[in-house]
Structure 1
Amino acid sequence: MKKFLALLFFLGALFISNTYAATIGDVALRFCNNSGSLEKTISLTTSGQEQKEICMMLINGSYEPTDVSINFVDGTITNDADQKKACKNEGENQNFGQYMTLENKTISVPARGNTTFTGVLELPEEAAGEIHGCVTYFINNEKNQKEMFTIMVRRANFIDIFAKGIVTIGLEFVDIESPTKSISKNPKLVSFFDTKENKLYIQSMLRNKGTAEQGITIKGEIKNRFGYKKTFFEEKRTIFSKQTSNINNVIDDLPFYKGPFTITYSVEHSANVSEGLETDTEEKTGILAETTSILIITPATYISVLVFLLIIAGISFFIIRRKHKKTKTAHTTNHKGTKKHHKIVAETS
């Protein structure tokens, strides 16, 4: 009986410890730069090589103390029509995260308590414009090993920086390295045709190589020489500085005969230069375009070509036969005229 009660006590203690152990859902991060108030997000103004302190507080709502890991990554926006703010993956820190320093990236937070700590931001001298970042935090024991992958549950808060200075402006299409052979000869606009699904897949990528944000309007068109023309994509987006935006489209209603097509992406772009910033050029707007030709061949293409050739052959045969008939008629008429002329001459004699 005593052993049974001891077992129940052990299981109960284990259940309670698991129930009240802190999870990332119990932890919240707030910014405390403004005296007397805690904020979920923060916006700061700074300059290159200026050190800027960012005050942060971790709040533990559980009944167990916990250790929380802190990291800084670049901010971005979702690659769709919604254009929502988001945080990049751990380790993607080229524009913001690498310029944040923190003495200790593991913060201990007491049960039902909080811990305040400070990070320091120091951008390089040439940094200018709007820079977006995130502070991410997670509990190490919540990493789950799933076969070859590690799933980490994290939370994040946005950090928006306005860096005074001279912004650069530049936008370009970039080459795409694809493991699948493209039917397009333009590496900046690759395409694949799935014969089973009868769908054309098109991929392209834009890169904002400047430090000014770019507002863009993308338009995709496809056409052929037989009168087919379609606008298959049109969307407005924003591309943060030094970031890329993928353009992925699928066309599933091409003409049944397929054949040669021309695909064009045109991009109207305008640099978003905030008040107080200077630019390295007066040209803040422009239009980019990339075009490629593709050839799609299916059984229907061969049938269409065969039918076309038969039609051409039929028309040619009809024209030749008609010409031959006219020539024969003219020859017969001339022959009769000659006989009549001979008869008249004979009577005159």
Structure 2
Amino acid sequence: MAKSGDVRSGERVVWAAAVVACGVFVLQTALADSQIFTLRWLFAVLIVGGAAFALRRSQRPAPDGPGAPEPVVLVLAALVGLAIWPVAWWLMDLSNHALLEAGPLPTAQSLIDLPDVFFGAHLHDASYELQILFAVVLAPLVQAWLVWGMVQPALGRAVGRWRAAWIAGAVGGALKSLIAVQNVVPGMPWGLASLSGYLLLGWGAALAVYLTGSAWAGFAAHAAFVYASFALRDDLARSMAGKAYLDVAWLTLLVLGLFVAAMLLQVIRFRVVRPDEPPRAGLHRLWIPLAVLLLALGFMAALDVRARRDQSGEERAALTPAMTVTTVAAVRPAAPSSPARPARG
């Protein structure tokens, strides 16, 4: 049987993840139209990392685990993130296409137009490079510490490691969607349209952690995914320009990506000795912070749909008699949740 101290510690960890996600989402939403940029990333990293640090200090020393996996396993985990990347972007763009029924998101701010002043220092010339540092390295690192290093083991002690991987993957995807920097392009997707792709990323990373027992595997998958999003999305957009969502080219890429990810996970499975199952304590009150996280996603969805409807109403109000629906469709800006968007179906 799991000890009562382990149960209480698990509750604190999951509550911390839920509170951090809600708090950073409120902060990012409040700053969505501001002229600062790097500070938004810094807030997200400091809050998530600070919560993980405080939790680690408050916990009793953990028993010796499997340690960091060997480098080849980290490479395999990174390739998992790379394999699911085009599938995730297809899901996000498809979600955005469906949400266009409510309307487009308001036109995002361009990163090159933001002064990005940070405590008197003008970071405009380095804003993009700083974004790469935060998005590819620092944010995945602190999220791995909190989600894959704390939330997933806590859930594993509650419901078993296999079920915990799926729940923690959903928590990781929700956290990434909620704390994302909003309303700036180029950048990572945000808002309701981003959730489906981030959930897929979360599950891929969580399965890598399940097989290795190390949060570093989740970090590798997450970092590789984000790096591909910045480095390869323009190539993906050009390759799939003019193709419908169910075009043979898209379907081939989707099947290939999922197949490669599954095979890579199998290689990790046979290469690494899987950690033992801990005693199960049951969910108890762990479902409460998970429900809070779900409510935060519902609030995000409501704000997203309202913003789209407001934008659609403004476009209709701005129409002149000479403008047609076709004209509006031609000039309507692409939703910033997918800065370099594959073709719509």
Normalization by structure 1: what TM-score? 0.22
Greater strand share, structure number: 1
Task: Using CA pairs under 8 Å that are at least 6 residues apart, name the structure with larger relative contact order, 1 or 2.
Answer: 2
Q: Point out the structure with max Rg over C-alpha.
A: 1
